[in-house]
Amino acid sequence: MSDILHIVIFLLWVNGLPPLVAILIHGRFENPVDGGRLWSDGRPLFGRNKTVRGVVAATVGGILLAPFLGVPWWAGSLAGFLAMIGDLTSSFVKRRMQIDSGGSVFLLDQLFESLLPLLFFNLFLQLTLLKNFTTLFLFTLVAYTSSRLWLHITGRPLPARYPRVVQSMVRFHEWRSCHTPLARWQVWFNLTSFLSDQVLLTWLFHVTGLYSKGKKNALAIGVTERIFSFSELPEKFDGLRILFLTDLHLDGLEGVDHELCRIVQETDMDLCLIGGDLRMKTYGDSDPAISKLELVLQHVRAPLGSFGVLGNHDCIEMLPNLEDAGLIMLVNDGIAIERDNERIWIAGVDDPHYYRLHDVAQATSEIPDGDFTIVLAHSPEAYIEAEENGAHLYLCGHTHGGQVCLEQGVPIITNSRAPRYTASGPWRHGRMQGYTSRGVAPSSIPVRFNCPGEIVCITLQRTK
C-alpha cells in the first residue's frame, strides 16, 4: 500500500507544481508550449495555460521526488515530463472538443497525466494490475476534488459590471482578502509584512519614544492646494475644483474619520475623486470602513458627483456597498462629466499594485481621441499606459509619500514599482501631468514623520 501512496503523492506533486510555480513567480515566463499556433480546426493546439515553464517545473520536480520513490533521478525527471505530455494530450483533446483553455472535464483531465508516468514506473517498481488501478483511482479522486475546491475559491461569478477576465490567482487573492473567517490566519500569508511592520518597526517606535509623536503627526491632516493648467481643457471646465482623497484607511487610526469630516465640510468643490484603500486591513469585514465612508460623503459638497477606484486594501466584493454609500465606482471604466454641452472624462482603473488588474485601454476605450481625460488609479504604477492612452492628468496615491521620511520629505520606502519621482507630489511623464497624494491616513503603522497626511484640492485651469 505504501508504494501506491508514494506514487499518488509523486503524481500530485508533479502535476501541481506548474500552477504553484506560476503563483510564486507571479505569472512570469508564460511562453506557451504551442507558441500560439492553431490546429487545422482554427483553435489553439494546447492553449495559453500550457507553458514551457510548467513543463520545466514538473520535470525538475520529478528529480526532487525521485529518492522518495527509490528510483534514479533521471527516472523521476522523465516521469515528471511524461505527466506533462499526458497533460498536453488532455488539453489537445479538449481544444478539439471546443472546450476553452482552463475548462475542466472529469477523468479526461486526470487520466493521461497520471497514466503515462504510472506505466513508466512499472519498469522500476513491482506493481500489480490492482495496484495500477488503485493508484489511478486515488489520484483521480484527490486531483478532481482539489480542482473543484480551487474553482470554488477562484471561479465565483463576478459583479455584472466588472469588465475584466480575471485570472484565477487574482480571484484567490480577492477571496482571501474579503473572506472574514480567514482573517485570523491572514497574518501567515503576509508574515514578512507582519514581522517588519506590526512587530519590529512598531516595537522600535515604542522603544525610542517616537510612537506617540508619530501618531499625533498622523492625525495632523493638512489641505494641499494645487493648480494644473491645460490647453486641452474645455472652456466650461476652466476653474473646475476637484476634491482628491486617497488612502483613507477609515477603520485604522481612531479619529481620522472625524478630522476628515471636519475638513471636507468646510470645502466647496465641484467633483470628488477617491483613490482607493478605504480600509486598513487587507482582509476581513469591510463594513466599518464603508460606514465611515458614508458619513464622510455626507459632508462632501461636490455637485458633479463622487467617483472612486479600488486599492490594494480593497476588493471587488465591496463594490455594491460602496455604491450604496454614494460612491460611484470605476473599475476599468470611464465616465463623462458634462457642463453646458462640453465634457471631460474620468477613467478609473483597478488596482495596479497588488491585484495588477489595471486596464487603462479598457477604461479609455469609449473616450474620443483628444477629449480631456483624467485617469484615476490607486498607485502610480499605471502611469506609462495612462500616457499612452491619451490621459492629460493622472491622480493616484498608495505610496503615502513614504509615510516615514527623511528631512525635506524624502521617502525611505515608496512601496511602488514606479520611478521614485512619482512617489509624492506633482510630476510629469511625456505630455501627461500627474499627482501622487501622500494620502489621508497612515498605513500599517499609525505614525508619520516628515510626511503629513493631505487632502488635495485641485483646480483645473485652461490655458490658451
Q: Is residue 165 part of a domain?
A: no
Q: How far apart are CA 301 and CA 207, in angstroms?
A: 43
pLDDT score at 154: 56
Q: Is residue 26 part of a domain?
A: yes
pLDDT score at 191: 41
Residue 69 Cα distances to 62, 197, 243, 356, angstroms: 10, 43, 64, 40
Q: Is residue 73 part of a domain?
A: yes
Same domain? For 143 and 215 the reply is no
Same domain? For 199 and 112 the reply is no
- Burial code (b: 16+ CB inside 10 Å, e: under 16) for 306-341 equals bbbbbbbbbbbbbbebbeebebbbbbbbbbebeeee
> How many beta carbons lie within 10 A of that of residue 435, not counting itself?
21
Sign of torsion, CA 210 453 247 384? negative
Q: How far apart are CA 414 and CA 402, in angstroms?
A: 5
- Total domain count for the chain? 2
Where does a domain end: 154, 181, 204?
154
Same domain? For 126 and 232 the reply is no
Same domain? For 198 and 150 the reply is no
Same domain? For 234 and 96 the reply is no
Where does a domain end: 154, 183, 204?
154
Domain holding 360, by residue range, is 194-462
Under 8 Å between Cβ of 256 and 250: yes
Nearest to 143 by CA among 97, 179, 122, 112: 112
Instruction: Give the domain CATH number at 371.
Output: 3.60.21.10
Residue 104, all three cell numbers: 475542466
- Beta strands 342-348 and 373-376 are parallel
Nearest to 421 by CA among 439, 443, 402: 402
Q: Is residue 185 part of a domain?
A: no
Q: Which residue type is seen at 295?
A: L
What pTM does this model have? 0.67
Residue 214, all three cell numbers: 508619530
Q: Is residue 91 part of a domain?
A: yes
Same domain? For 453 and 322 the reply is yes
Q: How far apart are CA 87 and CA 105, in angstroms?
A: 12
pLDDT score at 209: 75
Same domain? For 219 and 142 the reply is no
Same domain? For 112 and 202 the reply is no
Q: Is residue 173 part of a domain?
A: no
Same domain? For 60 and 207 the reply is no
Phi, psi of 462 (to 5 degrees): -90, 130
Q: Is residue 178 part of a domain?
A: no
Q: Is residue 161 part of a domain?
A: no
Same domain? For 204 and 272 the reply is yes
Same domain? For 241 and 379 the reply is yes
Where does a domain end: 130, 154, 178?
154
**Local confidence pLDDT in tens for the 464 residues of the chain:** 788 999 999 999 999 898 888 767 755 677 888 887 888 887 788 887 788 998 999 999 999 999 988 899 999 999 999 999 999 999 999 888 888 666 778 888 999 999 999 999 999 888 899 999 999 999 999 998 988 877 665 555 555 555 545 556 666 666 666 655 554 455 444 444 444 455 566 667 767 778 889 899 999 999 999 999 999 999 999 999 999 999 999 998 889 999 999 999 988 899 999 999 999 887 777 889 999 999 999 999 999 999 999 998 898 888 888 988 899 999 999 999 999 999 999 999 999 998 888 999 999 999 999 999 999 999 999 999 999 999 999 999 999 999 989 888 889 888 899 999 999 999 999 999 999 999 999 988 889 999 999 999 999 999 97
Same domain? For 320 and 421 the reply is yes
Torsion of CA 412, 418, 424, 429, to 10 degrees: 140
Phi, psi of 175 (to 5 degrees): -60, -45
